[in-house]
Amino acid sequence: MRCKTLTAAAVVLLMMTAGCSTLERVVYRPDINQGNYLVANDVSKIHTGMTQQQVAYTLGTPMMRDPFGSNVWYYVFRQEPGHEPVSQQTLTLTFDSSGTLTNIDNKPALTGKKSG
């Protein structure tokens, strides 16, 4: 009888602490960074009228290119700090048919505080 009571108490204790979020902060979670790390200084060097080669020299190769043949490059940087919310930076560059940069879409806009 004592074994059953002890087992029941252990099960109840386990069920009560299973949902505790206070223990989550104690567990180590590594920072996960993926993609093209861009700083505001490098992005400020990019302007319309540049060629694809000039952009690649300045920023490096893009994370993705549009798979359907249009000249769109995506520089994506996703950062997941251990116990903090995920943030993502996406720089989309559009080129015309001759390979000249025509549009820059930077969301969310890089600020000086992210440089490092």
Position 113 scores a pLDDT of 44
Per-residue pLDDT of the chain (116 residues; tens, 9 = 90+): 778 888 888 877 776 666 655 666 677 888 888 888 888 888 899 999 999 999 999 999 888 887 787 789 999 888 888 778 888 888 999 999 998 999 999 887 655 444 33
What torsion do the CA atoms of 59, 62, 63, 67 make, to the nearest 10 degrees?
A: 170
- Look up the pTM and report it: 0.66
Domain 29-107 CATH assignment equals 3.30.1450.10: yes
**Residue 48, pLDDT score:** 92
The pLDDT, as a whole number, for residue 115 is 39
Contact of 98 with 85, CB cutoff 8 Å: no
Separation in Å, CA 76 to CA 34, 43, 66, 106, 116: 8, 13, 13, 10, 17
DSSP classification of residue 50: -
